[in-house]
Amino acid sequence: MTSAATTAAKIKTTSDKAADTRGLAGQTVGDTEICSVNQTQLIYRGYEIADLAANATFEEVAYLLLVGEKPGPQELKEFKDELVSMRPIPDLVIDVLSKIAAPPPEVHPMDILRTGVSLLSHVDPETNDNSPKAELNKAKRLLAQIPGVIGACQMIRDGKEPVYPDPNLNHAANLLYMMTGRKPPELHAKVMDVSLILYAEHDFNASTFTCRCIASTEADMHSAVCGGIGALKGPLHGGANEAAMEMLKEIDQYMAAGKGTVESFMQNAFDTKRKLMGFGHRVYKNGDHRAGILRGLGLKVAQQQSSGGGPKLTKWFDIGDKVQKIMLEQKNIHPNVDFPCGMTYYVMGIPVPQYTPIFVASRVTGWCAHIMEQHKDNRIIRPLANYVGPGLKKWNG
């Protein structure tokens, strides 16, 4: 075995997790002024996430991330007006979506959204202009138009005509409106607004790092965002909010079929070394700062829906709490934000395959802020690899 191969084998079998640097675990790979993630705090440009969730709106947070500072009243008004004016999506995009989003075949909305953003690059007047001014314009257009792509995709999937954005609704409420054609209840709009704040930014997570890698080649913002969407789709990253809800539905069906309890489902999962979606985090080992905030709001929605004589939607939180307790007691692993997100969006009546696209509608702000930061002080991202392949051989020998 080569010495490089010996090192890799040592890493793979080590019981010392701290020495396992696969997946760049524990490695600091660059500087950022945008966000700080650590065991005790999640901070966007100096503001703590609980403070933002309680006191800011998503539009204010988007401005903070993209422009770099808290907006004043006039700046906020202009930013909101600009976003509203940019909301309508071009006919070209609607035409293509109407061909690809209508099943069959059933195409995942993340794939539709990736194509939608790629199409937006064809009609954006500044696609290949990487100047700071053009990039801020493009970031605003992407932020304003992604809800339209998500909404049109859902309406087409449901066999309906896409609707025009409603200029009287804020970003979160308009996103929900565009997916149904109905103005959302106040609490739903509020909960969506907070969830967008919670999802907006998270330093060098996989999708943001992907965006930065693409941007570092001096490629354009749309290309980088398409890459970010691809990275976010995976169930170990953004796709976990959908996977978490699918798992809760599986537990519910398991119990309804008389096969056992939450406890026995969990024991089976542990015995088969199954990964439980919506749990664990590369950075947070004592809990995700965002999870408790979203769980509280989601439960409020479930309680409101249930008290109106509808089905008892709080059951999802009862099952979720049991899963959470068992995970903590037996594995000492906490839920991440995707766990309560799954339940919250479910009780709001949002179709499960749209949970990760909604994550995009928010995270695009963080991605664009990072793409701009990368371009401001660029050097191509090109790390080294530790070769562990075979030794030198002769092609003709």
Q: What are the catalytic residues?
A: 237, 281, 338
Distance (Å, whole) CA 1 – CA 73: 65
Q: Which of 282, 300, 315, 322 binds ligand COA (CB under 6 A)?
A: 282
Q: Which stretch binds ligand COA (CB under 6 A): 73-81, 278-286, 358-366, 385-393?
A: 278-286
Using DSSP's 3-state secondary structure scheme, residue 35 falls into strand
Cβ-in-10-Å burial (0-12, 13-18, 19+) of 168 comes to: exposed
Of 58 and 279, the one with the shorter C-beta distance to ligand COA is 279
Minimal distance, residue 339 CB to ligand COA, in Å = 7
Confirm or reject binding of residue 314 to ligand COA (CB under 6 A). no
Minimal distance, residue 329 CB to ligand COA, in Å = 14
Q: Which of 155, 276, 291, 297 binds ligand COA (CB under 6 A)?
A: 276
Using DSSP's 3-state secondary structure scheme, residue 200 falls into coil
Q: Which of 151, 278, 320, 342 binds ligand COA (CB under 6 A)?
A: 278
Using DSSP's 3-state secondary structure scheme, residue 63 falls into helix
Confirm or reject binding of residue 49 to ligand COA (CB under 6 A). no
- 322 to 341, contacts with ligand COA by CB under 6 A? 333, 336, 338
170-176: long-range contacts, CB 8 A cutoff, minimum separation 24: 170/57, 170/58, 170/59, 170/80, 171/58, 171/59, 171/62, 171/83, 171/143, 171/147, 171/196, 172/58, 172/196, 174/87, 174/147, 175/147, 175/150, 175/151, 175/358, 175/361, 176/348, 176/350
Q: Which stretch binds ligand COA (CB under 6 A): 165-173, 248-256, 272-280, 301-309?
A: 272-280
Of 23 and 311, the one with the shorter C-beta distance to ligand COA is 23
Region of 127 on the Ramachandran plot (φ > 0 left; ψ -120 to 50 alpha; else beta) = alpha
Of 84 and 276, the one with the shorter C-beta distance to ligand COA is 276
Minimal distance, residue 216 CB to ligand COA, in Å = 24
Distance (Å, whole) CA 98 – CA 119: 13
- 219 to 258, contacts with ligand COA by CB under 6 A? 236-237, 240
Confirm or reject binding of residue 275 to ligand COA (CB under 6 A). yes
70: tokens are 């808290």
Cβ-in-10-Å burial (0-12, 13-18, 19+) of 70 comes to: middle
Q: Which stretch binds ligand COA (CB under 6 A): 99-107, 276-284, 348-356, 387-395?
A: 276-284
Number of residues that bind ligand COA (CB under 6 A): 16
**Which parts of the chain are beta strand (E)?**
35-37, 42-44, 47-48
DSSP state at residue 124 = -
Q: Which of 209, 265, 279, 359 binds ligand COA (CB under 6 A)?
A: 279
Site residues (vs ligand COA, CB under 6 A): 17, 23, 236-237, 240, 275-282, 333, 336, 338
